[in-house]
Amino acid sequence: MNRSIYFFFSLALIGLVSVPSWAGNPDRQGEAGAPELLMNPWARSSGLHTMTTSMVGGVEAMRLNVAGLARIPKTEVVFGHTIYLRGTDISINALGVAQRIGKNSAIGISLMSLDFGEIRRTTALQPEGTGATFSPRYFNLGVGFSHIFENKVSVGALVRMVSEGVEDATASAVALDAGVQYVTGERENFKFGISLRNVGGRMQFRGEGLSQEFQIPSFDNEHGIVANQRPTSFELQSVLNIGLSYDFYIAGNNRITALGNFTSNAFSEDQIGGGLEFSFKEMVMLRAGYKLDFGQVAQNNANAEPLYTGIATGVTLNVPVSKKEDAPKIAFDYAYRTTKIYDGTHNLSVRINL
């Protein structure tokens, strides 16, 4: 048994042993920051509630399990746009590029930003607004690498820069992702994956926006002083994913994939779920998934429902530009996830495979 097999089983063992220590802790909910790290801007994996730890590949793998980055023919470019919680005027824009290097490796770069629109600026003396507006800046940039070993084990690592702020206060940090995927079977039917995401340093806001000027009266006059606030630093949204899937082929190249996934959140409830994807000759794909929180089951209380209440659906249209077997393909992906409040989240992606 070669070193890659040992690595695979070691990482799997670490993941399984880590589950009790990473078990969801709702008492710490709200203590972590950078919630955008848990947002998925890509439509294909969003249609299965971001539970494709075992089977995700290409650009989208950099958001869930970077080990799948190398599972592309040559080059992949993906553009994504998300209407986040329709009715809030928040949107997500994303761009990702993955490039195969040699026979079994790939590198990729992924960018994502949130657009909050224009928010009215208010003060303690002008709670209805000053007439000015501002827009927060949430941005992250990830660079990943993945390698597939001959025994069908793939491993990957990613470094992500996280930045948040307004014009007079910013915070930044560096996060690390790591993952492994294992594929086996006559037609690579069975897939298993583990990913550990968003492990990194603490974030803390700094800038002139944290300073405030006061007037101190004295016996002869008022004197101005500037007080600098000390904001508390916060951790990132660390998460562990374990997933598996199996492909059933019917009538030739038509495929039905069944999958299951477990997510252990360091700062909220753990989650479990499953889904199905039907593919007609890899040209048209339909998918649906259901995910729930363990706390939702234990409390049996509608008020304990998470933001995403369970159902996610999606569709893909994959179009080759010519009849050649290795011709470039353009895919259009759409996903919808139901939410407890507002009108759900809509994902749109355009994927180009060269």
Average pLDDT over residues 173-183: 95
Q: Which of 66-75, 126-135, 298-307, 340-349 has the lowest mean pLDDT?
A: 298-307
Contact 94, 351 (CB under 8 A): no
Quote the pLDDT of residue 13: 47
Quote the pLDDT of residue 7: 52
Q: List Cβ<8 Å contacts ≥24 apart for 244-250.
A: 244/54, 244/190, 244/191, 244/192, 244/193, 245/52, 245/54, 245/55, 245/190, 245/191, 246/189, 246/190, 246/191, 247/185, 247/187, 247/188, 247/189, 247/190, 247/191, 248/189, 249/187, 249/189
Average pLDDT over residues 79-83: 98
Of 142, 201, 133, 141, the closest CA to residue 167 belongs to 133
pLDDT of 298 > 70? The answer is: no
What ranges do the domains of the chain cover?
3-126+139-205+238-353
Quote the pLDDT of residue 70: 95
Of 306, 350, 307, the closest CA to residue 330 belongs to 350
Q: Point out which residues pair with 319 in neighbouring strands.
A: 330
Q: Which of 39-53, 223-237, 320-334 has the lowest mean pLDDT?
A: 223-237
pLDDT of 24 > 80? The answer is: no
Q: For the chain, give the mean pLDDT.
A: 87
- % of residues, the chain, pLDDT over 90: 61
Give the helix ranges, DSSP H, for the chain: 3-22, 43-46, 294-299
Question: What is the CATH T-level fold of the domain 3-126+139-205+238-353, as seen in this structure?
Answer: Porin (2.40.160)
Average pLDDT over residues 289-296: 84
Quote the pLDDT of residue 26: 63
Question: Residue 259: pLDDT band by 50, 70, 90 thresholds?
Answer: very high
- 59 or 294, higher pLDDT: 59
pLDDT of 103 > 60? The answer is: yes
Helix (H) or strand (E) holding 212: strand 211-217
pTM: 0.88
How are beta strands 190-200 and 211-217 bridged, if at all?
Answer: unpaired
Quote the pLDDT of residue 224: 73
- What six digits make up the tokens of 109? 């770069």
pLDDT of 223 > 90? The answer is: no
Kindly give, in sequence order, each residue whose CB lies less than 8 Å from that of residue 303, ignoring residues fewer than 6 positions away: none
Quote the pLDDT of residue 17: 45
pLDDT of 351 > 70? The answer is: yes
